[in-house]
Structure 1
Amino acid sequence: MSNGRRLSILLPLSASIMLSACASVGPDSSPPSPPPLPSAAFPTDFGARPAGLMPGAVEAEWWQSFDDPALTSLIQRAWAANHEIGLAAARLEEARAMLRESRQEFLPQGGVGVGHENRRRSEVETAPGQSRRSEIYRGALDASWEIDLFGRVRRASEAAQAQAGVREALLRDVQASVAAAVAATWFELSGLDAELSVVADITQSQRESLRVVEGLVEAGSANALDRLRAEAALRAVEVVGPELERRRTVAFNALAILLGETPQTFAAPASSIARQTLEVRSITVGDPAALLGRRPDIEAAELSLAAATAHIGVETAGLYPQIEVQGSIGVVAGSLASTGGSSALSSVLAPLLRWSFLDIGRVRARIAASEARAREALIRYDQTVLRALEETDNAFGAFSTAGNALQLRFQEATATQQAADLARAQFSHGEGIYLDVLDAERADFASRRALVVARTNQRLAIVSIYKALGGGWVTCTRAEVDCTGASGVSDGRFPGFVPGP
């Protein structure tokens, strides 16, 4: 090839390459404007400041505030074996693989081809004096490279990168949800154990009361109606146990599934009822605006919008020509021995322009569909932020209500227990009537159960706050924590989740 001819090809190609470095059709992605978030000082925009909430540094491993080693162990076991985490991890690995594939589009494509042709032509195909048999050996290195003049490849890579970010954010969201679900289920299970303990205690007390009444009936100090009332009170307490056992079984099975185990083989640690405190906890929530800004579901929605925006550019590039350079270098010879000679060398350099101008209508339809998907992603982002604000406001309200209820329930339980003790003492000394004892014991039983439920509700409210704010989640930043889920897949970076400030 002459120098002039080579320059006539290379110069336009060089110009195209330079243009491809600065041109990308379609809109550029930019972070959407979220609805107004709470101020940085404190969540006053969420309503009145709930008692017990402090604006200090957020607890990273929030479950440590409960001083429950069993809960910490359960969360780590769930991260290592939960199937939802395993599925999310597999989806992340798929997205990362697709991202690596999309980046290969920037590089030339091709490979090596080797062939041998042994052909016998007919007499009609063969010129006079030539042999009817021919043999050709071919070997070549073929390559093609798309010059990304209008940014189709770059936009596709942007979309793939955003989609990988979506999967990573969704993985963190699943991990956070699993941790919260484990904590909530564990607290429910512990609360049911505490209720069953109350039922057992009250049952024993009612049996003793029944024996006392039966003795008084034999002595003539009480009548048969008192005995029937005492027996009815005992049965009313005993009947509560089976329903609590059923609910405990449901919670136990749910916890087993969260940890990736069957209920038949799962062994839950013993709940530490004796160590459960009754005081209202104070927890730190950090900066709600910053915490909401890094909720995994909000991040995933924002990245989904970025991916949808990049896809508009991919489809818009279909309106313009696609430029590709194809090349080949190799040997073509009539015998295997001749392939090493210079006369067998063969090369091709072929710029190629493709422009499907007859498909413009189809391309514009695909662009319109991509734009609609981008609008849908924007609406979904706004909806995700609004739901996050709703969850946060509900969580703050639930915590405030739970704290007030726990204080009142504790005062109620103290009063009813003293009243029951006083009523029994008076009746045993011949003062008062047994109906007063029954009423006092019934109130004592109800208030003690209500106190256990109030304590469980407060702990569930704490979990809801951390989950709503997206704060405090620590996953795989430490080597001793296994967060691979049921799939057991990890690449050393997975999932790259950093705790908040």
Structure 2
Amino acid sequence: MNRTLIGAACAALLLSACSTAPRFDPYQPALADSFTNRAEGMRSDAPAAQFWHGFDDADLDNLVARALQSNADIRIAAANLREARALAGFSDAQLFPQVGVAVGAARVRGRNNNGQAETNDVYSAGFDVSYELDLFGRVRDDRRATAAGVRAGEAGLRATQLTIAAEVARNYFELRGLQEQLRVARAALDTQRAALKLVEARQSAGRGTAFDTERARALVAGTEATVPALEAALIRTRYRLAVLSGQTPTALDLTLAEQKPLPGMRGLELKSIGSPEALLTRRPDVAAAFAQAEAAAARVGVARSALLPRITLGGTLGVNAGKVGDLGNSAAFAYNLGAQILWSILDFGRVKAQIAAAGARNEAAIVGYERTVLTALEETEGALAAYSRSQQQADALMRAAVAAQKAADIARARFEVGVSDFFAVLDAERELLSARDRLAQAQTAAATSVVAVYKALGGPVVAKDQTAAR
């Protein structure tokens, strides 16, 4: 009899590797060896880690470092990862027996062997053991699902870190760009006000006209109107940087008050961008979607296992006695061993409905992975295209600004010697302000386009061991 039980238990353990979960076949698009919008000189090496250091800007480095430590979204992602690890630990524990200690005391009234009513005290102490035989892979599928959840949580944390680092860099460059636009507007305003005084003096001396004076005054008022809008945008961007780095909105008012230029073009050069194939293995959002699809497939197996019986082995080993002092006697020793089979045979479609729901979630996760892959390729190609075009635009607007400055200088000189009227000066000043403003915006766009490329490439933000420690 004992041999039969041992043989049955061994067979059950061998069958425990079975699983009813569907196989996950990930979407694999046809990929080229290199990106279509790769500029000349770009290599297929892996992109640089911690891209913001390439800009050689201490303020930016400090902001990103603080954001990676204190940003609320990153802390939420880290908490979600700890939850996933805890759930995985719980699933792992289901592979082992559950052992408990039971101590009890009771007063029992009943009839004895002679049919007479009597009241007795009963004391007991012992160990309770239960273990589910995972015949159809329910426990192991659940364990695979939670393990995939951990991988998804780790990838999700890396994705959040990358997003926050890119957002800090983008907003920082926008801040410096707005400061440059504000500097240009104020410098132009000083020049225009000086010209207005000159025209007013010429009119008072009888050498100018009211028409020239009013046009000069209109130009000054129009430029003055741009300053409040730029100041408001600058304040909002500064507040955004403070919140991204886990601080109150006004915490950076003094730190970022000083006007500083955008980083030089050396920091904007992209040399190593990797390949499309490497991109899909590097991007954390793709890794997260892959793990989520694996988890969804395993959850289908968990749902399907509800159609099959669950067998639990259990038993108690302890002592029972009518007196506390008798618990140590050999006669008080008692045990029971047994097995329990639970199998729902009539649930009116509950289990099938759960299986259908799990199947639908699995299908959604598979399609979600496909969407994430395509989005990653789209974002990278689009970011590379925007990068090269933004550099070209900034170069062209630099030439335009230089030409506008020369034209303004010539117009002023011609007006001062009486060769041309003041209309030419006003027109040249207006064009110069517009050219400088467009140049500042283009330089900002060039800087933020680099950030967009690095974000799309999915380069590492922190070391893997640091992510694992969160």
TM-score range, shorter chain: over 0.9
Report the equivalent of 2:145.
159
Using the TM superposition, give the Cα deviation of residue 110 of structure 1 relative to its aligned residue in structure 2, in angstroms. 3.0
Relative to structure 1, the CA distance from residue 274 to residue 16 in structure 2 (aligned partners, 3 Å threshold; closer, same or farther) is closer
Between stretches 264-273 and 67-76, larger displacement belongs to 264-273
What letter matches 1:151 in structure 2? G
Q: Give the alignment partner of residue 107 of structure 2, picking from 91, 104, 118.
A: 118
- Determine which of 212, 220, 245 is the counterpart of 1:259: 245
Structure 1 residues 51, 451: closer, same or farther in 2, change over 3 A?
farther
Deviation of 1:130 (Å): 6.4
Is the 8 Å Cα contact of residues 185 and 226 (structure 2) preserved in structure 1?
yes
Greater mean deviation of Cα atoms: 429-438 or 128-137: 128-137
Structure 2, unmatched stretches of 5+, are none
Alpha-carbon offset, residue 476 of structure 1 = 4.9
Partner of 1:16: 12
Structure 1 length normalisation: TM-score? 0.88
Maintained 8 Å contact 2:55/2:264: no
Could you tell me whether the CA contact under 8 Å between 1:119 and 1:134 is conserved in 2? yes
Deviation at 1:427, TM superposition (A): 1.2
Following TM superposition, by how much is the alpha carbon of 1:308 offset from its aligned partner in structure 2, in angstroms? 0.8
Q: How many residues matched?
A: 468
The within-5 A match list for 1:347-496 is: 347-359=335-347, 361-471=349-459, 473-476=460-463, 493-495=468-470
The reply on whether 1:138 has 2:124 as its aligned counterpart is yes
Note the residue ranges of structure 1 that are not aligned, 5 or more in a row: 480-491, 496-501
Q: 1:272 to 1:340 in 2, by over 3 A?
A: same
Q: Is the 8 A contact 2:106 2:123 kept in 1?
A: yes
SS of 1:474's equivalent in the other structure is: coil
Aligned to 2:184: 198
Deviation at 1:117, TM superposition (A): 1.4
**Structure 2 vs 1, CA of residues 279 and 236 (structure 1 numbering), >3 Å: closer, same or farther?**
farther
Q: Does the CA-based 8 Å contact 2:176-2:261 persist in structure 1?
A: no
| Greater Cα offset, 56-65 or 441-450 | 56-65
Query: Does structure 2 conserve the Cα–Cα contact (< 8 Å) formed by 1:190 and 1:271?
Result: no
**Aligned-partner Cα distance in 2 for 1:287–1:27:** 33
Q: Read off the aligned partner of 2:198 and give its amino acid letter.
A: V
2:180–2:261 Cα contact (<8 Å) kept: no
- SS of structure 2 residue aligned to 1:349: strand
Give 2:209's aligned residue: 223
The separation in 2 between residues aligned to 1:58 and 1:132, in whole angstroms, is 84
Instruction: Answer whether contact 2:56 2:263 (CA < 8 A) is retained.
Output: no
1:278 positional shift: 6.0
- Is 1:71 paired with 2:86? no
Does the 8 A contact of 1:88 with 1:167 survive in 2? yes
What is the alpha-carbon distance in structure 2 between the residues aligned to residue 328 and residue 397 of structure 1? 70
Displacement of 1:436 in angstroms is 0.6
Change (3 A) 1:276 1:103: closer
Q: Secondary structure at the match of 2:312?
A: strand
SS in 2 for 1:273: coil
Q: Tell me the TM-score normalized by structure 2.
A: 0.94
Alpha-carbon distance, 1:475 to partner: 1.8
Match of 1:185 in 2: 171
Q: Which of 3, 11, 30 matches 1:7? A: 3
Report if aligned partners of 2:122, 2:321 keep a CA contact under 8 Å in 1: yes
Runs of 4+ in 1 over 6 A off after TM superposition: none
Post-superposition offset of 1:175 = 1.0
Where in structure 2 are the equivalents of 1:36-75 lying within 5 Å? Answer: 36-39=30-33, 42-44=34-36, 47=37, 49-50=38-39, 53-75=42-64
Does the CA contact (< 8 Å) of 1:53 and 1:285 recur in 2? yes
In the other structure, the counterpart of 2:29 is 35
In structure 1, C-alpha distance between the alignment counterparts of 2:260 and 2:13, rounded to whole Å: 71
Note the alpha carbon deviations across 1:160-183, whole angstroms, 9 max, x for none. 111121122111111111111111
* Change beyond 3 A, Cα 1:370–1:106: same
Deviations 1:411-455 (A, max 9, x none): 000000011111112211222111111111111000001110000
1:29 Cα offset (Å): 3.7
Post-superposition offset of 1:286: 2.6
Relative to 1, partners in 2 of residues 1:90 and 1:129: Cα closer, same or farther, differing over 3 Å?
Answer: closer
How many angstroms does 1:360 deviate by? Answer: 8.3
| Counterpart-to-counterpart distance in 1, 2:74 and 2:183 | 35
How far has the Cα of 1:275 moved from its partner? 6.3
